[in-house]
Each structure stands twice: as C-alpha cells, then as structure tokens.
Structure 1
Amino acid sequence: MPGEVSIDHEFISPQNNKFVLHDSKGFEPGEKDNLKIVRDFINYRRAKPDLKDQLHAVWLCFEIPRANGRLLETGVEQFLTSKREGELGDIPIVAVFTKYDTLLDRVERTLDKSSIKGLSQAAIQDIIKKNAEDKLQEVCVAPLEKFAKSAVPHVTVSTNGNHEGTLARLIQTTEELVRNHVGTDASVMTSVAQRVDPRLKIRASIEVGKRKYWKALASSVPFKNRSMWDCLHVLHTDIVNVWNFQDPHGYLCSPEFRTLMTNMVNELDVGPPTDPNKTLSFGLTIVGTIATIVSALSGPAAPIVVPIAASVVIASWVYELYEQTRPALQRFMKYIIDLTLVLQTLVLVAGNQELSRKAIKLAAKSYHESPMNGEVHNRIQEYDRQLTLRQRANRDSLDQIIELLQPYNTSAEEMSDLRGKLPVVDLSSDEPWDS
C-alpha cells in the first residue's frame, strides 16, 4: 500500500527466488524525501563489492496517462536529471509504460465506426494498434525524450489479456542493458531469473556451458578419474538450474528423469549411420513438436509412457571413466542439446505452472518423437564424421554446439503463438514415472 513500502525490503516470490525486487514509493507530488532515498539506495548498492548485492537495473514505471494527463512529475524529472548528469553511474534504466491494454481499449472505443466498416477483424486490430502506437508516441515517448535529452529505452507492457509478448520485450531490453552496462555475469542471472523468453535461457545455458565444460570436453584432463555418469550428473544439474522451473519436488534432477535423458542420448550410438549425401534441414524449429504433443493428448486420458527403465549402457557409464573419444564427445554434445531442447519444450507444455511428472514426460515424449530429435542426431553424426582427430582436439571445436542449437531457438512471441495451438490439458494431476 502507498506509504507502507521500504525500498530496502526485498520482495522475493516463493515460486522464484532468483528474482529480487525493491519497490520505492515513487515520486508522488509532495514526497520530497523520496528522490533522495532512491538516489542513496542506488549509490549504496552500486558500491557493494559482491554482484549478488548490487542493483542490476531500474524499471521506471509510468501508467500511460489518460486524456490531458501528465507523464512526468517533478520528482521523475529530477531523477532523470540525476541519471543524465552521471550521478547514478551506469545503472541501466528502462522506462516502462504500463496498462497497455487499457490504452487499446480507449483507442477502440473512440474509433470512427464508419472508417472500419467492412474491414476484417484482423485489419481492425491492426488499425487499433497503429493508433495506440501514435498515441503512445505523443503522450509518453515524446515527453520522455524531450526531457531526458538522450535515448531512454522504453517498453510498453500489460499483464492483462493476451499481451505476453510485451513482458518478453521488457525482459529482453533489460537483459541487453544489464549485459552492456553491468556485465555478463549479471546478464546470465537476469536470464536465469526470468521465465518468459526461452531464447535467453538457451543463451545463458551456452554461456555457462562454454565457461565450465564445452571447450574442456576435447581434453579429458578436467574430467580425469571421473566417470561419464558423474560428468553428466553435474552438467545436467547446471543446465536445469539455468532454466529455473517451478520444480519444488525436484523432478528435473530426479534419477528417473536423468535416466530418461540418458536413454534418449544412447540412441545416438545405436541409430543408423548418417547418409553423407543427405541435405539437412537447418530451418526446423520447435513447431515440429506441436503435432506430437497434440497426438499425445488427443486420445483417452491414458498415462504418458516414456523409456525410463535403466539400460545396460547406463550401468556401463557409471563405471566408465571419461576419456577423449568420439563416442564420449558425441554423448556430451547430444546430452547438452537434447536436455536443452526438452526443457524448451517443457516451457511450451507447462509455462509457469508448478511442474508435474506428467508435464515432464509429455515434453520429453513430444521432443523424442518429433522430427527435431532425429535431425539433431543426424547433424551431430555428420559434424563428427567430417572432423579429423586433430580438429577434435581443438579446444574451440565444440563451439559447434552453439551452431547446432541456433535453428531450434524459439522466441517468447513464437512460444505464445504455439501454446495457443495446443488443446487445454490438466497437467496438475500427476502420475508415476513408470506408468
């Protein structure tokens, strides 16, 4: 409530402890002390030695004003002046124009009905959005830029209705600013904390992987005296942590899910050899999983069956020490890519819901049976077939993982569109792994 908040209080959602919010009282007229409080807080946090205690970005929020409303109060102008004059350092600031849905509603109510007579609903929506953008430029962007004297990044958002894409743009803008002004470590944590944009998750997975594993995989030294299973165990845990699902039961790090992923990877060893003359399709995206998800949900409400029985190869991986060999490199590459794409599919299936085993099994089954899985197998085998032993020993050779992942990145906007094509299904009713 107004007047009750302290900027020092940390708001942390019970469902996502990676994101920490500090809420100021704003700059309401007559609140002369608030500007000093905010300035002091920013500078105090800026001087903290540990990244976890620093402030990474500021969202300066404005409700889109109604007719004749004023965007910038005096306190906001003074705050922007402090930023412009360098008193707040390089802390990224994003102007956030809120309640975009109400702006669209107002524009729609004031439309000249005769001007849209005979138009399709899609054409009418385009006109509404165009008029809303013009109004936004007039009442928000222009006053902000006029006063700030420099480009201030701005994003228009709404949490009501079908406006998930606006939240994705806010996260994307924030992550980019944090990466450019605070550093890669902070931008990785921004990507980990958010649960809107899968592309940022994949970017964070890549950044963590490059630092910890990928370039080291071509040399067995960092994994000396470690079994394949131990190496995959650590790798699996780190990738799952990056995706930051609401998983209070720890299903994604359970022995059953690890076994499921290992069985999927093992198919690379026993599958048919790659046809060197085959032209690979580099444009396949997660759209290919839609058919398999719909197929899995179209029949009676039967349990989802996935291969989680421990196979002979898992038993051997438990005792097999990691060495620089073609099969070992292939396994690691396939595990990294398969796990990443299964988790991306899980975003499509479960969204921000608390995870159930049923949802995880559906995501794994859908990816496993989609054309994407077979193409990933083929591309890894083709890549490995073309390398000489000397190239495999090159520490940079495994950057190919990035190239293998790129065609399958799915944006938040695409994810929202894809989710709209899925039938409604209750994933909260759980089921055993082995059903």
Structure 2
Amino acid sequence: MGRANAGKTTILQRVCNTTDKPEIFNGKGGKVDASVVEGSLTRGHHIIEDELVFQSNPGFVFHDSCGFEAGSEEQFDMMKNFVRDRAKRIRLDERIHAIWFCIPLNESHRMVMAAEKKFFDECDTGYVPVILLATKADTLELEAFEKLEEQGLNVDDETGSARLQEEILVNNIEKIKNWLGNTRFPPHDYLPLAGMEQEGANCVPLVTCTANALKEEGLQQLLISTQQSNLELCMEFAIMK
C-alpha cells in the first residue's frame, strides 16, 4: 500500500529478483489483460482484489492499492473491506499475511498525509502486521550535500556526508513514528529502504523484518523458503528455529 510513485512495484520486483512486470489475475484465477490494467492505473483506478504474480517467483502473491490517496471514499472503503475480509480468512492461500505500507522519503514536505493517517486510524488489520517502509532513503544524500553547503563544510567529505545523511534519515523516521505512533492502529515496525531501483538490491532486511513480524512460525518458514534467492537467510532462520 501507499501513494503513487512510492516505489511499490520496484520493491516487489527486487524481492522476486526480476525486472519483468507481474502477471495479473482476478480473484477467480483468470488472467487479466495487462494493457487494460495499465490504462486503468493511469486514470487512478485499481482493483485491489487482483493478484500480482512474478514468474521468477510465483510463490509470492501480491495485492496493490495503487496509490489510493487519490481515490474516493468509496475506493478507500473497498480497500478497508478487502483487508478486513482477507485478514480473517481461514484458508492460508486466501488470507493476506503481511502489509507493506510505503512512504517515500524524497517528499519530506509531505511525508505523512491525510490518506496515511486515515488508514492507520481506521483500518484494523487484526493479526496481519503492517510494516512501514520508508522508501527512497538514498535520495537523502542530495539533502545532506545541500546542508553541508549551507554550513560551509566540505561537500567532498564522504564521512561527514554519510554521517549527516544518517542523521537526516533517523530524524525523518522519528517524525513518521511521532505522526503515526498515536494513531489507533500504528505500524508494527518501521524500515528504511535504499537502492531498490538497482538490480540485485539487498532485500534481506525487508524479508527478515517481515518474517519477525509474523505471529505464526509456519508462516515465517513459508516466507523464508519462498525467498528462494537468498540461501544465507534460509540457513539463518533454520538455525534459529
């Protein structure tokens, strides 16, 4: 979930180790014409019941809210009803198991908007953990350079720049926590993500954070085993269990 251009699709591609677009299926298993869906997205429309599957790793099934901040009250209610319904399903393959909610850090002037607060105030996800992903954290490098220049410091000082960038990141995460921590249904965890636009980006922190947030050990094992491309992560959790 999250606003448009928050990097949602890119994250899914990196988790599935692919650059291909997902295949899309409706709730009854029928394949959806991708060109029709693409046209709907450009108009701000979406069907959250649709399933997104990447052939590189079909063990994952995703649902995308497609930037519901631009939608109507009716669209928000459809999303909320979908989450409530799928969070309570008995069948494992019909249930949603985790929610990644993306907020981009490159929009510091509007990191948390009314749509985000509305979701965390009104949407009870039950036992399904919501993990707040602070995306595009690498864009803070430019902000760090600008602050160094304002302070008259050496912009070529990589150590100083990295230290300032980390400080800005920590401050931004704290701001998000302050804004969302007082909502009725706050995020389970907060995770900054950087470099997701690069092929082969490291998704271990994301998968590990998600696995730790899951309440059921069986689900943890399924998630780790489905992340086929990282044997080190599979071995780590196998040893832990």
TM-score between the two structures when normalised by the length of structure 1: 0.40
The aligned runs of 1:199-238 (5 Å cut-off) are: 199-203=232-236, 206=238
1:96 aligned partner: 133
Partner Cα distance (1:9, 1:198) in 2 = 30
Report the secondary structure of 2:218's partner residue: helix
| Residue 177 of structure 1, CA deviation | 0.9
Partner Cα distance (1:43, 1:67) in 2 = 31
Q: Structure 1 residues 70 and 120, CA, compared in 2 at 3 Å: closer, same or farther?
A: closer
Partner Cα distance (2:199, 2:70) in 1 = 34
Report the secondary structure of 2:100's partner residue: strand
Task: From 47, 50, 63, give the equivalent of 1:6.
Answer: 47
2:217 aligned partner: 184
Partner Cα distance (1:48, 1:150) in 2 = 22
Is it true that 1:41 corresponds to 2:82 in the alignment? Answer: yes
The aligned runs of 1:284-295 (5 Å cut-off) are: none
2:101 aligned partner, one-letter code: L
Report the secondary structure of 2:142's partner residue: helix
Structure showing greater radius of gyration is 1
Task: From 197, 217, 225, give the equivalent of 1:160.
Answer: 197
Partner Cα distance (1:69, 1:117) in 2 = 29
Q: Which has the higher helix share?
A: 1
Task: From 100, 111, 116, give the equivalent of 1:76.
Answer: 116
Q: Structure 1 residues 134 and 14, CA, compared in 2 at 3 Å: closer, same or farther?
A: same
Does the aligned pair in 2 maintain the 1:168–1:196 contact within 8 Å? no
1:22 aligned partner: 63
Partner Cα distance (1:124, 1:111) in 2 = 7
| Residue 163 of structure 1, CA deviation | 9.6
Can you give the 5+ residue segments of structure 1 that lack an aligned partner in the other structure?
207-401, 407-435
Does the aligned pair in 1 maintain the 2:134–2:191 contact within 8 Å? yes
Partner Cα distance (1:119, 1:104) in 2 = 12
Partner Cα distance (1:129, 1:163) in 2 = 23
Report the secondary structure of 1:11's partner residue: strand
* Aligned-pair Cα RMSD in Å: 3.1
Report the secondary structure of 1:91's partner residue: coil
| Residue 33 of structure 1, CA deviation | 1.5
Deviations 1:292-322 (A, max 9, x none): xxxxxxxxxxxxxxxxxxxxxxxxxxxxxxx
2:178 aligned partner: 142
Does the aligned pair in 2 maintain the 1:62–1:98 contact within 8 Å? yes
Deviations 1:150-201 (A, max 9, x none): 5641111131359945x322211111111x2xx1221111112225654431
Deviations 1:324-368 (A, max 9, x none): xxxxxxxxxxxxxxxxxxxxxxxxxxxxxxxxxxxxxxxxxxxxx
TM-score between the two structures when normalised by the length of structure 2: 0.69
Partner Cα distance (2:185, 2:128) in 1 = 17
Does the aligned pair in 2 maintain the 1:157–1:163 contact within 8 Å? no
Larger RCO (CA within 8 A; separation ≥ 6): 2
1:107 aligned partner: 144
1:175 aligned partner: 211
Identity %: 18
2:221 aligned partner, one-letter code: V
Task: From 57, 73, 94, give the equivalent of 1:32.
Answer: 73
Report the secondary structure of 2:109's partner residue: coil
| Residue 112 of structure 1, CA deviation | 3.1
Partner Cα distance (1:114, 1:82) in 2 = 43
Length, aligned pairs only:
199
Partner Cα distance (2:222, 2:180) in 1 = 29
Does the aligned pair in 2 maintain the 1:43–1:88 contact within 8 Å? yes
Q: Structure 1 residues 56 and 151, CA, compared in 2 at 3 Å: closer, same or farther?
A: closer
Report the secondary structure of 1:112's partner residue: helix
1:82 aligned partner, one-letter code: E
Deviations 1:13-69 (A, max 9, x none): 111111111011333145211221122212222333221221100111112253532
Report the secondary structure of 1:95's partner residue: strand
2:158 aligned partner: 121
